[in-house]
Structure 1
Protein backbone atom coordinates (compact mmCIF):
# COMPACT_ATOMS: atom_id res chain seq x y z
CA UNK A 1 0.00 0.00 0.00
CA UNK A 2 1.22 3.50 -0.84
CA UNK A 3 0.84 6.11 1.89
CA UNK A 4 -0.77 9.08 0.13
CA UNK A 5 -0.03 12.50 1.62
CA UNK A 6 -2.56 14.50 -0.41
CA UNK A 7 -3.38 15.64 -3.92
CA UNK A 8 -0.28 16.84 -5.77
CA UNK A 9 -1.98 18.46 -8.77
CA UNK A 10 -5.00 18.35 -11.05
CA UNK A 11 -4.50 18.42 -14.83
CA UNK A 12 -7.39 19.74 -16.89
CA UNK A 13 -7.67 19.45 -20.68
CA UNK A 14 -8.90 22.72 -22.22
CA UNK A 15 -9.61 23.87 -25.76
CA UNK A 16 -8.08 27.36 -25.44
CA UNK A 17 -5.22 27.94 -23.00
CA UNK A 18 -5.51 31.74 -22.96
CA UNK A 19 -9.24 31.97 -22.23
CA UNK A 20 -9.08 29.09 -19.72
CA UNK A 21 -6.11 30.67 -17.93
CA UNK A 22 -8.07 33.92 -17.62
CA UNK A 23 -11.15 32.06 -16.36
CA UNK A 24 -9.25 30.24 -13.61
CA UNK A 25 -7.41 33.41 -12.62
CA UNK A 26 -10.61 35.50 -12.47
CA UNK A 27 -12.85 32.93 -10.78
CA UNK A 28 -10.44 31.04 -8.51
CA UNK A 29 -7.87 33.77 -7.97
CA UNK A 30 -5.25 31.41 -9.43
CA UNK A 31 -1.73 32.71 -9.95
CA UNK A 32 0.56 31.67 -12.81
CA UNK A 33 3.50 29.52 -11.74
CA UNK A 34 4.69 28.59 -15.25
CA UNK A 35 3.45 29.14 -18.79
CA UNK A 36 4.53 26.99 -21.72
CA UNK A 37 3.30 26.86 -25.33
CA UNK A 38 0.40 24.48 -24.67
CA UNK A 39 0.23 24.39 -20.89
CA UNK A 40 0.02 26.67 -17.90
CA UNK A 41 0.60 25.81 -14.25
CA UNK A 42 -1.52 27.71 -11.74
CA UNK A 43 -1.65 27.90 -7.96
CA UNK A 44 -5.25 28.21 -6.76
CA UNK A 45 -5.32 28.51 -2.98
CA UNK A 46 -2.45 26.06 -2.60
CA UNK A 47 -3.89 23.62 -5.16
CA UNK A 48 -1.69 23.13 -8.21
CA UNK A 49 -3.70 23.15 -11.45
CA UNK A 50 -2.17 22.31 -14.81
CA UNK A 51 -4.15 23.39 -17.87
CA UNK A 52 -3.21 21.58 -21.08
CA UNK A 53 -4.49 22.86 -24.41
CA UNK A 54 -5.94 20.19 -26.71
CA UNK A 55 -6.63 21.52 -30.20
CA UNK A 56 -9.89 20.32 -31.77
CA UNK A 57 -10.95 18.89 -28.39
CA UNK A 58 -14.44 17.46 -28.08
CA UNK A 59 -16.46 17.84 -24.87
CA UNK A 60 -16.80 14.67 -22.81
CA UNK A 61 -20.16 12.95 -22.76
CA UNK A 62 -21.66 13.20 -19.24
CA UNK A 63 -22.40 9.46 -19.42
CA UNK A 64 -18.72 8.63 -19.91
CA UNK A 65 -16.54 7.21 -17.18
CA UNK A 66 -14.09 9.78 -15.81
CA UNK A 67 -13.87 12.62 -13.32
CA UNK A 68 -17.33 14.03 -12.57
CA UNK A 69 -16.21 17.29 -10.91
CA UNK A 70 -13.76 18.74 -8.46
CA UNK A 71 -14.57 20.90 -5.46
CA UNK A 72 -12.79 23.72 -3.67
CA UNK A 73 -13.38 24.58 -0.02
CA UNK A 74 -14.75 28.08 0.49
CA UNK A 75 -15.46 29.61 3.91
CA UNK A 76 -19.06 30.24 4.98
CA UNK A 77 -18.16 33.92 5.24
CA UNK A 78 -16.83 34.11 1.67
CA UNK A 79 -19.47 31.84 0.06
CA UNK A 80 -22.02 34.62 -0.80
CA UNK A 81 -19.20 36.65 -2.40
CA UNK A 82 -18.13 33.62 -4.44
CA UNK A 83 -21.68 33.11 -5.76
CA UNK A 84 -21.95 36.83 -6.54
CA UNK A 85 -18.66 36.68 -8.49
CA UNK A 86 -19.92 33.74 -10.56
CA UNK A 87 -23.07 35.68 -11.44
CA UNK A 88 -21.16 38.89 -12.23
CA UNK A 89 -18.83 36.95 -14.54
CA UNK A 90 -21.82 35.23 -16.25
CA UNK A 91 -20.51 31.80 -15.29
CA UNK A 92 -22.97 28.97 -15.94
CA UNK A 93 -24.20 27.75 -12.54
CA UNK A 94 -25.31 24.12 -12.86
CA UNK A 95 -26.61 23.60 -9.29
CA UNK A 96 -27.29 25.83 -6.34
CA UNK A 97 -26.48 27.72 -4.41
CA UNK A 98 -28.05 25.31 -1.92
CA UNK A 99 -27.33 23.82 1.47
CA UNK A 100 -26.40 20.18 1.02
CA UNK A 101 -24.25 17.58 2.72
CA UNK A 102 -23.44 19.69 5.76
CA UNK A 103 -22.53 22.92 3.97
CA UNK A 104 -23.40 25.43 1.30
CA UNK A 105 -22.60 24.43 -2.27
CA UNK A 106 -22.70 25.86 -5.76
CA UNK A 107 -21.61 24.04 -8.91
CA UNK A 108 -20.59 25.64 -12.19
CA UNK A 109 -18.83 24.87 -15.45
CA UNK A 110 -15.56 26.20 -16.77
CA UNK A 111 -15.37 27.28 -20.42
CA UNK A 112 -15.03 23.66 -21.62
CA UNK A 113 -17.83 22.24 -19.48
CA UNK A 114 -15.61 20.85 -16.68
CA UNK A 115 -17.72 21.00 -13.52
CA UNK A 116 -16.34 22.78 -10.46
CA UNK A 117 -17.93 23.09 -7.02
CA UNK A 118 -17.48 25.54 -4.17
CA UNK A 119 -18.33 23.81 -0.87
CA UNK A 120 -18.26 25.18 2.67
CA UNK A 121 -18.50 21.93 4.61
CA UNK A 122 -16.03 19.25 5.63
CA UNK A 123 -15.93 15.52 4.98
CA UNK A 124 -16.91 14.91 8.62
CA UNK A 125 -19.95 17.21 8.31
CA UNK A 126 -20.99 15.55 5.04
CA UNK A 127 -20.77 12.03 6.48
CA UNK A 128 -22.69 13.07 9.63
CA UNK A 129 -25.37 14.71 7.47
CA UNK A 130 -25.72 11.66 5.20
CA UNK A 131 -25.77 9.25 8.16
CA UNK A 132 -28.67 11.22 9.67
CA UNK A 133 -30.48 11.18 6.31
CA UNK A 134 -30.05 7.39 6.07
CA UNK A 135 -31.47 6.92 9.60
CA UNK A 136 -34.59 8.89 8.66
CA UNK A 137 -35.30 6.89 5.48
Structure 2
Protein backbone atom coordinates (compact mmCIF):
# COMPACT_ATOMS: atom_id res chain seq x y z
CA UNK A 1 0.00 0.00 0.00
CA UNK A 2 1.12 3.53 -0.67
CA UNK A 3 2.10 5.45 2.43
CA UNK A 4 3.26 8.88 1.35
CA UNK A 5 5.17 11.04 -1.05
CA UNK A 6 8.61 9.59 -1.91
CA UNK A 7 10.24 12.25 -4.08
CA UNK A 8 9.60 14.96 -6.65
CA UNK A 9 11.47 15.05 -9.96
CA UNK A 10 11.34 18.01 -12.31
CA UNK A 11 12.85 18.41 -15.75
CA UNK A 12 15.41 21.18 -16.17
CA UNK A 13 17.24 22.39 -19.27
CA UNK A 14 20.36 23.83 -17.59
CA UNK A 15 21.54 21.95 -14.51
CA UNK A 16 23.93 24.67 -13.29
CA UNK A 17 21.29 27.38 -13.53
CA UNK A 18 18.63 25.24 -11.85
CA UNK A 19 20.97 24.02 -9.13
CA UNK A 20 21.83 27.65 -8.31
CA UNK A 21 18.12 28.62 -8.28
CA UNK A 22 16.99 25.77 -6.05
CA UNK A 23 19.89 26.12 -3.57
CA UNK A 24 20.32 29.91 -3.49
CA UNK A 25 16.76 31.15 -4.04
CA UNK A 26 14.64 28.24 -2.79
CA UNK A 27 17.15 27.33 -0.03
CA UNK A 28 17.20 23.60 -0.80
CA UNK A 29 20.15 21.52 0.37
CA UNK A 30 22.20 19.95 -2.43
CA UNK A 31 23.47 16.40 -1.80
CA UNK A 32 24.91 15.11 -5.09
CA UNK A 33 25.03 16.03 -8.76
CA UNK A 34 26.02 14.16 -11.90
CA UNK A 35 26.13 14.93 -15.63
CA UNK A 36 22.34 14.95 -16.03
CA UNK A 37 20.89 15.65 -12.62
CA UNK A 38 21.11 16.40 -8.94
CA UNK A 39 19.51 15.34 -5.67
CA UNK A 40 18.44 18.01 -3.21
CA UNK A 41 16.21 18.12 -0.17
CA UNK A 42 13.89 20.57 1.51
CA UNK A 43 13.03 19.41 5.00
CA UNK A 44 12.11 15.74 4.58
CA UNK A 45 11.25 16.08 0.88
CA UNK A 46 13.66 14.52 -1.63
CA UNK A 47 13.83 16.66 -4.77
CA UNK A 48 15.46 15.61 -8.04
CA UNK A 49 16.54 17.83 -10.92
CA UNK A 50 16.74 15.84 -14.15
CA UNK A 51 18.09 17.24 -17.44
CA UNK A 52 15.47 16.74 -20.12
CA UNK A 53 13.34 18.62 -22.62
CA UNK A 54 11.23 20.91 -20.44
CA UNK A 55 7.53 21.33 -21.20
CA UNK A 56 6.05 23.41 -18.35
CA UNK A 57 2.42 22.85 -17.49
CA UNK A 58 -0.10 25.25 -18.98
CA UNK A 59 -2.66 24.44 -16.32
CA UNK A 60 -2.80 25.05 -12.56
CA UNK A 61 -0.55 22.06 -11.72
CA UNK A 62 2.32 23.18 -9.48
CA UNK A 63 4.51 22.19 -6.54
CA UNK A 64 3.75 23.99 -3.26
CA UNK A 65 6.58 24.47 -0.78
CA UNK A 66 6.08 25.23 2.90
CA UNK A 67 7.11 28.59 4.38
CA UNK A 68 6.42 29.89 7.88
CA UNK A 69 4.30 33.00 8.46
CA UNK A 70 7.33 34.89 9.79
CA UNK A 71 9.52 33.90 6.82
CA UNK A 72 6.89 34.61 4.15
CA UNK A 73 7.60 38.34 3.63
CA UNK A 74 11.42 37.97 3.59
CA UNK A 75 11.15 35.02 1.18
CA UNK A 76 8.83 36.95 -1.14
CA UNK A 77 11.22 39.89 -1.07
CA UNK A 78 14.11 37.53 -1.87
CA UNK A 79 12.21 36.23 -4.93
CA UNK A 80 11.42 39.72 -6.16
CA UNK A 81 14.99 40.95 -5.62
CA UNK A 82 16.20 37.96 -7.66
CA UNK A 83 13.86 38.93 -10.50
CA UNK A 84 11.86 35.70 -10.24
CA UNK A 85 8.63 35.72 -12.26
CA UNK A 86 5.34 35.42 -10.39
CA UNK A 87 2.63 33.55 -12.33
CA UNK A 88 -0.49 33.97 -10.17
CA UNK A 89 -1.83 36.11 -7.34
CA UNK A 90 -3.06 34.39 -4.18
CA UNK A 91 -6.80 34.28 -3.54
CA UNK A 92 -7.06 31.54 -0.91
CA UNK A 93 -6.37 31.07 2.80
CA UNK A 94 -2.85 31.62 4.03
CA UNK A 95 -0.05 33.57 2.43
CA UNK A 96 1.10 32.28 -0.95
CA UNK A 97 3.49 33.46 -3.61
CA UNK A 98 3.31 31.64 -6.95
CA UNK A 99 6.58 31.75 -8.90
CA UNK A 100 8.42 30.13 -11.80
CA UNK A 101 11.78 28.38 -11.74
CA UNK A 102 14.27 29.20 -14.55
CA UNK A 103 12.55 26.69 -16.89
CA UNK A 104 9.02 27.89 -16.18
CA UNK A 105 8.09 25.08 -13.79
CA UNK A 106 5.32 26.36 -11.51
CA UNK A 107 6.04 26.63 -7.80
CA UNK A 108 4.26 28.09 -4.79
CA UNK A 109 5.51 29.04 -1.33
CA UNK A 110 2.58 28.71 1.08
CA UNK A 111 2.21 29.38 4.79
CA UNK A 112 -0.56 27.12 5.95
CA UNK A 113 -1.48 23.46 5.81
CA UNK A 114 -4.37 21.17 5.02
CA UNK A 115 -5.93 21.71 8.44
CA UNK A 116 -5.88 25.51 8.18
CA UNK A 117 -7.39 25.26 4.68
CA UNK A 118 -10.19 22.97 5.88
CA UNK A 119 -10.99 25.34 8.77
CA UNK A 120 -11.18 28.27 6.33
CA UNK A 121 -13.61 26.32 4.13
CA UNK A 122 -16.14 26.24 6.99
CA UNK A 123 -16.56 30.01 6.73
CA UNK A 124 -15.78 30.44 3.00
CA UNK A 125 -16.72 27.22 1.16
CA UNK A 126 -15.81 26.70 -2.49
CA UNK A 127 -18.72 26.51 -4.95
CA UNK A 128 -20.18 22.99 -4.83
CA UNK A 129 -18.10 21.99 -1.76
CA UNK A 130 -19.06 18.61 -0.26
CA UNK A 131 -17.44 17.34 2.96
CA UNK A 132 -16.32 13.72 2.63
**Separation (CA, whole Å) in 2 of partners of 1:47 and 1:126:** 21
After TM superposition, the score normalised by the length of structure 1 is 0.83
Aligned CA RMSD, in angstroms, stands at 2.2
Equivalent in 78, 82, 104 of residue 75 of structure 2:
82
**Separation (CA, whole Å) in 1 of partners of 2:126 and 2:32:** 49
Which runs of at least 4 in structure 1 moved beyond 4 Å after TM superposition? none
Does residue 26 (structure 1) correspond to residue 17 (structure 2)? The answer is no
Does residue 93 (structure 1) correspond to residue 86 (structure 2)? The answer is yes
**Separation (CA, whole Å) in 2 of partners of 1:21 and 1:48:** 14
Q: How many residues align?
A: 128
**Separation (CA, whole Å) in 1 of partners of 2:23 and 2:81:** 15
After TM superposition, the score normalised by the length of structure 2 is 0.86
What secondary structure is seen at the aligned counterpart in 1 of 2:70? coil
Worse-superposed segment, 80-89 or 41-50: 41-50
**Separation (CA, whole Å) in 2 of partners of 1:43 and 1:26:** 13
